[in-house]
Structure 1
Amino acid sequence: MTELAYDLHIHSCLSPCGDDDMTPANIAGMAALKGLDAVALTDHNSCKNCPAFLAAAKEYGIIGIPGMELTTSEEVHAVCLFPELYQAMEFDRFVYSRLIKVKNRPEIFGKQQIYDENDSVYREESCLLINAVNLSFEGLWEKAASYGGVMFPAHIDKNSNSLIANLGFIPPDSSFQTVELKDMKKLHSLKREHPYLEHCRIISNSDAHYLEHINERGFTLPAAERSAKAVVDTLRRGLF
């Protein structure tokens, strides 16, 4: 086993709320500068910048993991990660077919830029990506798994767009084994209120929309090897 310093929730300039400097290559470069081992790109409801990001991550010698932050029909945010790029892009096509289509207005919501492997914009996404997807939180674990991936609820301690805030509870028949907290100081009180968390691996990511907000080296995950597959396997197993 090896311990990998991670940040598994980062937005590029494809997310309308992401800063224009959050290009795939800039993200990989900043992650390497901060000493991270494993980094995931998780734009809102899209994996379309993951090919460029994985190419840049390879150049910088870090583990790039393709993924997205999906918005369910209940407007719960959940991170979905995949061991292989082709799995992420197949999931991307499925999610895009379920996305509520509204034309983006860049002057209001922000640009949605898709980059090539030369870190240049080659097109913009026209449909607003921060809308909900016609897919319930119930069954999302199984849906991500059917594409070879893993799902974990995002920032469950936030008072909006989180599993607890939007549903009011953690469904007792849930299958996820990992959850994300923004503020680890809230962990003990959350465990008292939601015993399901006692069985989960707890991780903390930056949810960065600006380069300077990407995590410093600190939080680590155990993994069987230095690979995206090993990271996804750890998240899928949780504590067990």
Structure 2
Amino acid sequence: MKLYYDFHIHTALSPCGEDSMTPNNIVNMSLINELDAIAITDHNSAENVEAVIKVAKGKDIIVVPGIEIETKEEIHVVGLFPDIESVYNVQSKLYSKLPYIKNKSTVFGHQYVLDENDDIIKELDKLLLTSVAMSLNEVIDLIHDNNGIAIPAHIDRPSYSILANIGFIPDDLNTSILEISRFSNLDTYRQKYKDYHIIQSSDAHELGYIGIKKNSLEVNEKNIESIFNALKQYE
């Protein structure tokens, strides 16, 4: 069966995310857009994932725990995980590798941790929008060590991407899944990178950019296990 997805969505926790990117707004917009599965992938943190999962409970949509990590090469990598415990383990490691830079909300935006009612629990003080002290391969290994799937993000973009910052796909890259942004043509990149599986997600930082019923993954059932089984065959 086809499962329509958007595996790269930011909440109001990401400083570059709009404050309107709350758990309820994200889930409801995703349902309006007829998506079957979404992933919450804030910058170097997963503190809003659980709230989104709670909002989606009982609704016809799957929420995949995720995170977007910035490596020391300033490459963004999306990590998708089968459960909340795994992504929290990764978050703990990242927090220890994230330099202390105080966030300036007037410059970068707020970093709100929200509950399932969209109420603000707290605002993170340490800036999330920066590199962790880990290389690209170290980040991918960390994701894999915690049962996750590693996906170099928006490779078509001129910044914070593996192609922009390195100039090529390394031969020793320990993943075969790559992501392109909503701005590029999926078929073009699938033809260009035939040795890789290319997915396309929105990288939404505001509600109007959350994906529509367009990109799909072939799965046996509509659940997280089937999503990971489908993706792992490409890794």
TM-score by length of 2: 0.94
Q: Check the 8 A contact 1:82/1:229 in 2, yes or no.
A: no
Name the SS of the counterpart of 1:161 in structure 2.
Answer: coil
Q: Quick check: 1:219 aligned with 2:219?
A: no
1:205 maps to 201
1:156-195 matched pairs, under 5 angstroms: 156-182=155-181, 183-185=183-185, 188=188, 192=192
Q: Check the 8 A contact 1:114/1:124 in 2, yes or no.
A: yes
Q: Whole-Å Cα distance in 2 between the matches of residues 119 and 217 of structure 1?
A: 25
Q: Whole-Å Cα distance in 1 between the matches of residues 69 and 187 of structure 2?
A: 23
Q: Percent identity?
A: 38
Q: Whole-Å Cα distance in 1 between the matches of residues 41 and 233 of structure 2?
A: 21
Q: Quick check: 1:233 aligned with 2:229?
A: yes
Unaligned runs of 5+ in 2: none
Task: After TM superposition, give the deviation of residue 24 of structure 1 in Å.
Answer: 1.2
Q: Check the 8 A contact 1:157/1:186 in 2, yes or no.
A: no
1:82 maps to 81
Task: After TM superposition, give the deviation of residue 145 of structure 1 in Å.
Answer: 1.1
Q: Check the 8 A contact 2:113/2:124 in 1, yes or no.
A: yes
Q: Check the 8 A contact 2:186/2:199 in 1, yes or no.
A: no
Q: Whole-Å Cα distance in 2 between the matches of residues 152 and 121 of structure 1?
A: 30
Q: Whole-Å Cα distance in 2 between the matches of residues 231 and 88 of structure 1?
A: 16
Question: Aligned AA for 2:163?
Answer: I
Question: For the structure 1 residues 15 and 6, does the alpha-carbon distance in structure 2 shift closer, same or farther, using more than 3 Å as the test?
Answer: same
Task: After TM superposition, give the deviation of residue 96 of structure 1 in Å.
Answer: 1.0
Q: How many residues align?
A: 234
1:51 maps to 50
Task: After TM superposition, give the deviation of residue 199 of structure 1 in Å.
Answer: 2.0
Q: Whole-Å Cα distance in 2 between the matches of residues 86 and 189 of structure 1?
A: 33
1:101-120 matched pairs, under 5 angstroms: 101-120=100-119
Unaligned runs of 5+ in 1: none
Q: Whole-Å Cα distance in 2 between the matches of residues 59 and 21 of structure 1?
A: 23
Moved more, 121-130 or 87-96: 87-96
Task: After TM superposition, give the deviation of residue 186 of structure 1 in Å.
Answer: 7.1
Q: Check the 8 A contact 2:9/2:42 in 1, yes or no.
A: yes
Displaced runs of 4+ in structure 1, greater than 6 A? none
Q: Check the 8 A contact 2:152/2:162 in 1, yes or no.
A: yes
Task: After TM superposition, give the deviation of residue 229 of structure 1 in Å.
Answer: 2.7
Q: Quick check: 1:134 aligned with 2:130?
A: no
Q: Quick check: 1:93 aligned with 2:96?
A: no
Task: After TM superposition, give the deviation of residue 231 of structure 1 in Å.
Answer: 1.6
Q: Deviations over 1:128-177 (max 9, x none)?
A: 00010111102333221111111101000111100010011110121212
Task: After TM superposition, give the deviation of residue 32 of structure 1 in Å.
Answer: 0.8
Q: Check the 8 A contact 1:6/1:220 in 2, yes or no.
A: yes
TM-score by length of 1: 0.92
Task: After TM superposition, give the deviation of residue 47 of structure 1 in Å.
Answer: 0.4
Task: After TM superposition, give the deviation of residue 190 of structure 1 in Å.
Answer: 8.0
Name the SS of the counterpart of 2:227 in structure 1.
Answer: helix
Q: Check the 8 A contact 2:6/2:201 in 1, yes or no.
A: yes
